[in-house]
């Protein structure tokens, strides 16, 4: 056969799965609303695993409707690599080139025909290209028609073709676009193969789809993993299948099926198809149910099996299983069990051993509910040396932890239980305060900043969060030498300087944001230190001409920022239960009122109540109230002169909210 001359123009390499989709098209892909929680040890954009990236590539190809020819082209490129640049290019013979391509194509057809189920795959790809099309002219009814045709082609042969990369995508298309009948039919046909499918580079995505979309088959799929869970967790491909199933798609009982392998072979025998009703009921309770009524020897065997299983996971941290919620659940159950061991000394020994095993990867645990609880327990029960080691491991990831719902609970517990506040202020607090301008833009980040100043306040923390943080209070009472009040005061003092400086530098901009204005208010009221410069920044923002001429509203016209000024002028938050204002000990409302008058000035102050939206009536009313009493004579006199009869009449004739209250306050000056 004559060698085909090489073209001088390089062709782009084609992957086995067909040509890469265009970026513009990829941006239109529909994203899942459920996502696995990501470890704080990885940046947000790099947090996805290799298997997740492959899953997205498969999804992209499905969404973009790569044709059967595209898939074949990928196979052909794999079997017949393109010639290298080493071949001579100076001689060109078009006739020889065409002849060579024809011969090559014949060989390709022969090789493809010799493969098992080649005819079936060829027929399936023709229908698949229609069913998976993204054409706007393809109606749902037409797509269902093609899905039925595709199902007729592959019915009875799903097990035979599903492990092939191109055929796996065909089956996934049926599961994705088909109705429940087709999904259940495929799930039933694959029964007995799920363990093998989960370990395959391509078919693992199909397993995840079936677990998500076929609830009636979910339990039977998970039972096929039984006695293999630990091995699958350490498997490169299968680990993501188990993690997604546990965290995203299973109910409480189905999760126990995955965790049960950690209890040892003896316990794993009690599945939904074995054992008495009493055994099944205990199994639903997890490890506590397994150990319920167990004799000391059986208890020891179960805990030993769990320790060995967890040790194997943590000793192979490079496999990625240490980040999975299923492992964290097993670890938390183990810690609860050893802390309830009748022999207290033995329990402390077991807790110490498991801590030494996982102390270097604690940052990989904090992003899940159970993992966060584990690290918090280590903090509460650990020695001063243990706590120092934990802070050392967590320090590089503090900023990411501040914006994670579960991880930030670890930081809060560290602030609650560590007596060495000098160490905390030196290592932990700066990592939380330095990115304050970024943290204030998310609810989680704001909570992290607020916990340094006003921990566990019901104004900013939900009852569930407060109850969760209180779980370590009993242990803290036994292990801590400092009172809660002293520790909180020392942390507040250590964080105040940096937070006040942030208000001074960024307060004028951030007060326009609803959430950030809440943080600014708490810092001004409760932080310790000289706040004169910070107050000046906030008041300069309010001294802008009123009303503003540009599109940016005046701070007084924003409900959240006007509420901030009102709260600072009244000296604290209003307590509905006490029907009064709770004065903040570290805040001088009268000094702020005097500074308000000096910085804002007469024209703007009067304009707040008479011009534009007239939203400043409540603020000025609080300004009047704060000047009442001894020491405010000069301010009252000045303010009275600002709001003469003409200004009062204008307020009465205007539409300002709170004008009645304001007029009464002015009259009382």
pLDDT bucket at 135, cuts 50 / 70 / 90? confident
- Summarize pLDDT for 156-167 with one digit per residue, the tens: 889 888 888 778
pLDDT bucket at 631, cuts 50 / 70 / 90? low
Confidence check: pLDDT of 646 > 50: yes
Alpha-carbon gap, residue 223 to 272, rounded angstroms: 9
Among residues 357, 328, 340, which one has the least CA distance to residue 303?
340
Instruction: Find the mean pLDDT for residues 362-375.
Output: 96
pLDDT bucket at 532, cuts 50 / 70 / 90? very high
499 neighbors 523 (Cβ within 8 angstroms): yes
Domain range list for the chain = 50-78+113-225, 531-668
Residue 17: what pLDDT? 39
Alpha-carbon gap, residue 146 to 141, rounded angstroms: 9
Using CB atoms within 10 Å of the CB of residue 22, give its burial: 0 to 12 exposed, 13 to 18 middle, 19+ buried.
Answer: exposed
Residue 45: what pLDDT? 56
Which of the two residues, 489 and 52, has the higher pLDDT score? 489
Structure tokens at 450: 């607020």
Residue 54: what pLDDT? 44
Biggest distance spanned by C-alpha atoms of the chain: 108
Instruction: Find the mean pLDDT for residues 468-489.
Output: 93
- Summarize pLDDT for 4-30 with one digit per residue, the tens: 444 444 444 433 333 444 444 333 333
For the chain, what percent of residues have pLDDT higher than 90? 56
Using CB atoms within 10 Å of the CB of residue 576, give its burial: 0 to 12 exposed, 13 to 18 middle, 19+ buried.
Answer: exposed
Confidence check: pLDDT of 459 > 60: yes
Among residues 392, 655, 657, 651, which one has the least CA distance to residue 667?
651
Confidence check: pLDDT of 72 > 50: no
The lowest-confidence range among 85-94, 262-271, 575-584 is 85-94
What's the Cα-to-Cα distance from 432 to each of 328, 462, 495, 499, rounded to whole Å? 26, 21, 9, 10
516 neighbors 440 (Cβ within 8 angstroms): yes
Global pTM reads: 0.83
Question: Mean pLDDT across the chain, nearest whole number?
Answer: 84
Alpha-carbon gap, residue 178 to 62, rounded angstroms: 14
> Across-strand partners of 574?
581
- Compute the Cα dihedral for 236, 238, 242, 245 and give only its sign: positive
Confidence check: pLDDT of 342 > 60: yes
Q: What are phi and psi of 580, to 5 degrees?
A: -165, 175
For every residue of 521-551, which 3-state class applies, written as one string? HHHHHHCCCCCHHHHHHHHHHHCCCCCCCCC
Using CB atoms within 10 Å of the CB of residue 294, give its burial: 0 to 12 exposed, 13 to 18 middle, 19+ buried.
Answer: middle
Residue 114: what pLDDT? 56
The lowest-confidence range among 251-265, 275-289, 436-450 is 275-289
């Amino acid at each position: 056969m004559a060698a085909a001359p090489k073209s001088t123009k390089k062709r782009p390499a084609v992957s086995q799965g067909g040509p890469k989709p265009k970026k513009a098209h990829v941006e239109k892909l529909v994203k899942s609303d459920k996502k696995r929680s990501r470890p704080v040890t990885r940046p947000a954009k790099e947090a996805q695993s290799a298997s997740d990236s492959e899953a997205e590539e498969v999804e992209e190809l499905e969404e973009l409707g790569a044709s059967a020819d595209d898939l074949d082209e990928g196979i052909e490129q794999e079997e017949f690599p393109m010639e290298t640049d080493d071949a001579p290019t100076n001689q060109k013979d078009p006739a020889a080139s065409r002849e060579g391509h024809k011969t090559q194509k014949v060989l390709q057809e022969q090789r493809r025909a010799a493969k098992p189920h080649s005819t079936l795959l060829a027929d399936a790809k023709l229908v698949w290209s229609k069913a998976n099309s993204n054409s706007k002219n393809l109606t749902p009814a037409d797509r269902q028609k093609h899905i039925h045709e595709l199902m007729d082609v592959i019915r009875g042969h799903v097990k035979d073709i599903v492990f092939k990369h191109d055929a796996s995508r065909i089956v996934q298309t049926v599961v994705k676009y088909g109705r429940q009948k087709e999904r259940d039919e495929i799930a039933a046909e694959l029964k007995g193969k799920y363990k093998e499918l989960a370990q395959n580079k391509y078919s693992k995505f199909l397993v995840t789809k079936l677990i998500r979309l076929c609830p009636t088959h979910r339990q039977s799929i998970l039972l096929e993993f039984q006695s293999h869970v630990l091995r699958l967790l350490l498997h490169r491909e299968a680990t993501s299948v188990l993690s997604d199933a546990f965290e995203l798609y299973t109910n409480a009982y189905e999760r126990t099926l995955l965790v049960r392998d950690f209890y040892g072979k003896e316990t794993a025998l009690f599945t939904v198809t074995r054992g008495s009703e009493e055994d099944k009921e205990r199994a639903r309770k997890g490890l506590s149910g397994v150990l319920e009524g167990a004799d000391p020897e059986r208890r020891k065997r179960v805990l030993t099996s769990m320790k060995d299983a967890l040790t194997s996971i943590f000793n192979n941290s490079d496999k990625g299983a240490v980040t999975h919620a299923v492992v964290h659940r097993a670890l938390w159950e183990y810690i609860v069990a050893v802390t309830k061991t009748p022999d207290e000394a033995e329990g402390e020994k077991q807790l110490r051993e498991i801590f030494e095993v996982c102390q270097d990867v604690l940052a990989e645990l904090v992003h899940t509910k159970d993992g966060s609880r584990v690290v918090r327990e280590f903090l509460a029960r650990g020695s001063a040396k243990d706590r120092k080691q934990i802070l050392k491991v967590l320090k590089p990831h503090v900023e990411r932890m501040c914006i994670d719902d579960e991880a930030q609970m670890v930081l809060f517990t560290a602030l609650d239980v560590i007596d060495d506040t000098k160490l905390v202020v030196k290592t932990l607090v700066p990592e939380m305060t330095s990115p304050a301008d970024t943290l204030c833009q998310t609810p989680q980040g704001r909570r992290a900043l607020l916990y340094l100043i006003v921990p566990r306040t019901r104004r900013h923390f939900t009852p569930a969060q407060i109850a969760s943080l209180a779980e370590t209070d009993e242990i803290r009472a036994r292990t801590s030498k400092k009172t809660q009040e002293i520790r909180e005061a020392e942390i507040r003092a250590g964080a105040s300087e940096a937070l006040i400086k942030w208000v001074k530098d960024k307060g004028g901009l951030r007060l326009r944001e609803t959430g950030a204005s809440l943080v600014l208010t708490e810092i001004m009221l409760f932080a310790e230190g000289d706040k004169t410069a910070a107050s000046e920044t906030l008041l300069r923002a309010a001294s802008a001409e009123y009303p503003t001429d540009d599109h940016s509203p005046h701070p007084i016209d924003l409900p959240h920022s006007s509420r901030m000024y009102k709260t600072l002028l009244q000296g604290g938050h209003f307590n509905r239960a006490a029907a009064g204002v709770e004065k903040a000990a570290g805040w001088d409302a009268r000094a702020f009122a005097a500074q308000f008058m000096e910085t804002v000035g007469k024209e703007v102050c009067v304009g707040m109540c008479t011009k534009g939206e007239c939203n400043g009536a409540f603020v000025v009313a609080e300004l009047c109230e704060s000047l009442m009493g001894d020491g405010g004579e000069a301010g009252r006199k000045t303010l009275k002169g600002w709001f003469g009869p003409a200004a009062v009449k204008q307020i009465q004739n205007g539409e300002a909210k709170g004008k009645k209250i304001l007029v009464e306050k002015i009259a009382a000056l």
